[in-house]
Amino acid sequence: EKSFARGAMRECFRLKKISQQPRQGMHALSWKTSNNYVAKKYLGQTSGGKEEAMNDCRLQMTAGLIAEAFSRLNPPKRVVIIHCCVLEFFQREPPSFFLCERYIDGTDSFGNDFVKHNSNGGFIDDQEKRLTPQLFSAASFYLNHGRVLVCDVQGVADLYTDPCIHSARQTFGESDLGRRGMALFFQSYPTPPLFTIMGK
């Protein structure tokens, strides 16, 4: 049980999913052929991290719905927020809760692996100069009439994970900086006319 990455709030563990016995005619499930996942454990939580994991899962799935709405507009490149779930180790005392998702592997068409495109505090990646991640963040604001903005966009190509959401009522946890966070994004990224960029 050794983590491969650690941040201020969570540490990450590799996980394999072997969820069912193979049926007749299917290849045998093995460690090598099983899907790779990431299990994120919350640090310093006496409750086992249940509330934090559930809240982060709700946030990520909400961002996923916004990404689907953005992609329905037929932008030059569609985006996907990876699905997640909460995993409970109920045999531990106290029970432990992890936020789990598929491990994102590979590189984009430029040869980059995992890239952080923007943050919840106004950072914009000006080295890669990719338009799609910033356009998605801006569009999330306009699609929701200024009530939310998806940021902290990061991942491989246009498959994203671990976003933050700024909301007018600050309902998405500690990383939700509300309208101030929205203003920080637009201060760093003065958005060109969205429909001009998207060819509409």
CA dihedral 186, 190, 195, 197 (to 10 degrees): -130
Cβ(163)–Cβ(63) under 8 Å? yes
Residue 43: CA count within 13 A, CB half-sphere: 10
Please name the residues in contact with 44: beta carbons below 8 A apart, sequence gap of 6 or more.
none
The whole-angstrom separation of Cα 158 and Cα 136 is 10
CA 188 to chain centre: 21
Please indicate, yes or no, whether the overall pTM of this predicted structure exceeds 0.95: no
- Closest residue by Cα to residue 58 from 194, 146, 167: 167
Q: What is the pLDDT along the chain (200 residues), one digit of tens a residue?
A: 688 888 778 899 988 877 656 555 555 567 777 788 999 998 876 667 889 999 999 999 999 999 999 999 998 899 999 999 999 988 888 888 999 999 988 887 777 888 999 999 999 998 877 889 999 999 999 999 999 999 999 999 999 999 999 999 999 988 999 999 999 999 998 766 665 556 44
